[in-house]
Each structure stands twice: as C-alpha cells, then as structure tokens.
C-alpha cells in the first residue's frame, strides 16, 4: 500500500474562514515542491521504505525539517504538523518517525549520501530559478564561510564531551554560503564532532569544505572564496585549497607567530594604510599593511599574501599576548593579487556574518541534538 494523497490546494483569503496556525509552513512546503527537494528525498530514500509502508521516508524527513523550522527541537514536535493535515497532508506517527531515523542511522554513509544528493539537486534548481539573482551570477566570487560552534548537551549522549568553553556537548564545524548583508546565506554542510574536537583540525576543515563545495551547482564551484578564522590557518588545509586544478580562492585567518610579531615591528608608520569600517568608509584608529615580503613563506602555497590589521582596542578590552604598543593585531592570508589592502581586509572581516548564520541555525534546530546516538543526530 502506498500513500498517494496530495496536499489540498491552498488559497489565501481574509474572510476569517478556514483559519490555520503555522500558515508560514506553506512557504517552506512550496519551496520544497518547486525545487524538487521533496521528490529528491523520496527517490533517494526509497530503499529505506519498509514493505507496505504508508508514509514515504522523503515526506517524513521533509516534515521533520518543517517542524524544526517552526521551533521544534525533538522528533515528537512533528505533532505540530500532524495537527493540521489540511495544510501539511498526512504526517507519520512518532513510532514511524523514530524507526525511520534508526534505519537511516544504521546505514549512515549511504543515507547521508542520498540526503546530500537531494539537497544539492534542489539548490541547483533554486539557483537556476533565481537566474540573474543567484549567487555568483554576476561573475563575482561566492564566499563560503567555515566556522565551529558549541552545541550543549544536558544529558549523556554518544560522543558528547567537555568543550573548550567549559561546557559539555558537541563542537560541530559548519559551512555557509554568504549572500551578503541583505541575505540570510545558506547552510551548505555541518560536520558533527565531539565536544573536545580541536578548533584547527585540518582534516575536518577539509571535510567541511569538500561537503560544502559538493552542495554548490557545478558551474559555481570554481568561483568560490573559502573564508575561515585562524582555525583554518594550517599548512595542510591551505595545501588542499591550492591543489592544482582545484581553482579555489581563500581568505584564511592566521595565528600571529613570533616571526610575524617581529615583522610587524619592522613596518614603518608611513606604510600603514587606513582600514575600512563595515560600510566601506575609513575607520579611525584602524590600519592595514602587508607582511608578505617580510616573512619566509617558502613552506606555504605559492602566491600567498599575508595582511595584518592594527587597531586600538575598545575601552575596557583586555589586551592579548600578541598585542603590541597598546594595539590589537590580526592577520589573514589570501591568494588575491589585486585590490586595495583595506578592501581585502574588509572582505575577510565580513566572514563574521557566519556568526549570524549559526545563530539562525540554532533557532531552527541546531541548538539541541535530541537523540542519544551520534549517528542519529547526524541525520
């Protein structure tokens, strides 16, 4: 027996009849339909559909996503959709949902491949529909920001561990496509990690970047700017980014070493250029300069530039060990050869928008990983 029920046609009126709550869900349901996400998940997850099952695994997973977007934080919150079949159609029961998640987690690599394939196809369709408004349609680089965050756990869950922030939980590494100040960005990939995972683990940065690139339309994968904080400033990660044939661009934060510290001291005052604020205007008390010629970069990728920013800390800020003469210094590496230093530094600093993307993700499900199994939480 297969469920062939269709969602009823929805009309919008202001006559006060047929009122429903959570009507905003319709926008997400229509987006899933237009982009083919629902069909993609249904086809990709067909092998996990039990014989004589009523509910399609793709529909169940789509409903779970909708529940998360509506503020749910556990599987049982799918009841929000079940209460309104006229809007969401037939919704699986809690035991059916739980069995599906367990079945997918038992075959995790194949299940994740199927889900990621469906997501990538839906994104390609969405960007094609956006046409000239799609990211990178004007030929510009598409920033992909990689950053880690802490997800606390309030009970003993598999691979939950103490974190560097003295909390307990997980330390996932996320990758977001940045659509600028006026856009919300897109979550491309999240690599779930134990709470004690390192901040500068090259292998996991490579994994996050690889998964993020696979989510982009093929035509866009050679116009990508990878941005990270100093956690990505490792030889191994930069060597992967600059591997021949990959054609990626990067703007990567760097930890200030003793060599950089000494190089900064050699920069004459006349070399420092004014830095820009978020609006692209000169920011008082902040300057930028290039360190490339003052450093031995022979062990780093060819063509790498190192740029340093100097600024006066805000009143009350605690100075760090690497701060010099009352100024705070930050460095980043890039392969971009053209452009003013202030523009390149501002472009790098805009990776801070990734923090907003992470906050949005936590508002739509990432704040809590409800299941005990590490594999189930990855689904």
- State mean pLDDT over 326-346: 92
Angle 281-283-286 (CA atoms, 0-180°, nearest 5)? 140
pLDDT value of residue 27: 85
Measure the CA–CA gap between 121 and 115, rounded to whole angstroms.
10
pLDDT tens-digit series, residues 197-222: 988 899 999 999 999 999 999 989 98
Average of per-residue pLDDT values in the chain: 89
**169 backbone φψ class: left, alpha, beta (φ>0; ψ -120 to 50):** left
Q: Is the pLDDT of residue 2 over 60?
A: no
* Terminal CA-CA length for the chain: 26
Pairing status of strand 249-254 against strand 224-228: parallel
Q: Is the pLDDT of residue 231 over 50?
A: yes
Measure the CA–CA gap between 266 and 293, rounded to whole angstroms.
11
pLDDT tens-digit series, residues 255-291: 999 899 899 989 998 999 999 998 889 999 899 999 9
When computed from its CA atoms, the radius of gyration of the chain, rounded to whole angstroms, is 24
Q: Is the pLDDT of residue 115 over 90?
A: yes
Q: Is the pLDDT of residue 125 over 90?
A: yes
pLDDT value of residue 3: 45
Closest CA to 223 of 249, 187, 259: 249
Extract the tokens encoding 372. Answer: 């005990």
User: What domains does the chain contain, in order, with CATH numbers?
Assistant: 1-8+20-134 (no CATH), 135-363 (3.90.350.10)
pLDDT value of residue 1: 39
Using an 8 Å Cβ cutoff, are 260 and 244 in contact? no
Output b/e per residue, 337-374; b: 16+ Cβ within 10 A.
Answer: eeeebbebbbbbbbbebbeebbeebeebbbebbbbebb
pLDDT tens-digit series, residues 151-161: 999 889 999 99
Measure the CA–CA gap between 368 and 173, rounded to whole angstroms.
15
pLDDT tens-digit series, residues 163-187: 999 999 999 999 999 987 777 789 9
Q: Is the pLDDT of residue 16 over 80?
A: no
The whole-model pTM stands at 0.89
**CA distance readout (Å), 143 to 10, 73, 349:** 37, 29, 12
- Who's near 230: CB < 8 A, 6+ residues apart? 200, 252, 253, 254, 255
Which residues, in sequence order, are bridge partners of residue 306?
A: 333
* Long-range interactions of 338-344: CB distance < 8 A, separation 24+: 340/273, 341/273, 341/288, 341/289, 341/290, 341/307, 342/273, 342/274, 342/275, 342/276, 342/288, 343/276, 344/251, 344/307
């Amino acid at each position: 027996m297969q469920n062939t029920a269709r969602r009823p046609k929805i009309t919008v009126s202001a006559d006060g009849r047929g009122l429903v709550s959570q009507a905003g869900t319709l926008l997400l349901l229509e987006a899933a339909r237009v982009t083919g996400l629902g069909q993609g998940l249904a086809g990709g997850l067909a092998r996990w559909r039990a014989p004589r099952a009523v509910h399609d695994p793709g529909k169940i997973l789509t409903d779970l996503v909708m529940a998360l977007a509506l503020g749910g934080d556990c599987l049982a919150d799918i009841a929000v959709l079940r209460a309104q079949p006229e809007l969401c159609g037939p919704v699986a029961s809690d035991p059916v949902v739980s069995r599906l998640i367990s079945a997918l987690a038992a075959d995790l690599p194949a299940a994740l491949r199927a889900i990621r394939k469906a997501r990538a196809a839906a994104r390609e369709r969405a960007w094609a529909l956006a046409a000239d408004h799609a990211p990178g349609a004007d030929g510009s680089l598409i920033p992909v920001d990689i950053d880690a965050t802490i997800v606390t756990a309030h009970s003993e869950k598999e691979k939950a561990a103490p974190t560097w922030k003295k909390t307990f939980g997980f330390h996932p590494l996320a990758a977001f496509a940045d659509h600028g100040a006026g856009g919300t960005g897109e979550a491309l990939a999240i690599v779930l990690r134990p709470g004690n995972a390192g901040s500068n683990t090259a292998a996991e940065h490579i994994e996050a970047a690889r998964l993020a690139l696979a989510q982009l339309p093929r035509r866009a994968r050679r116009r990508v700017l990878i941005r990270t904080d100093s956690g990505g400033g490792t030889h191994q990660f930069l060597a992967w980014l600059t591997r021949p044939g990959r054609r990626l661009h990067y703007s990567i934060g760097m930890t200030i070493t003793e060599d950089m510290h000494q190089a900064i001291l050699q920069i004459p005052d006349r070399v420092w250029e004014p830095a820009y604020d978020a609006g692209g205007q000169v920011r008082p008390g902040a300057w930028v300069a290039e360190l490339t010629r003052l450093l031995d970069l022979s062990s780093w990728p060819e063509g790498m530039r190192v740029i340093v920013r100097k600024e006066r800390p805000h009143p009350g800020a605690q100075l760090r060990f690497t701060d010099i003469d009352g100024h705070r210094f930050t460095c980043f590496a890039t392969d971009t050869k053209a452009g003013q230093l202030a523009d390149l530094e501002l472009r790098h600093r805009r990776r801070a928008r990734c923090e907003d993307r992470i906050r949005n993700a936590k508002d739509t499900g990432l704040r809590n990983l409800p299941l005990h199994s590490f594999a189930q939480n990855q689904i």
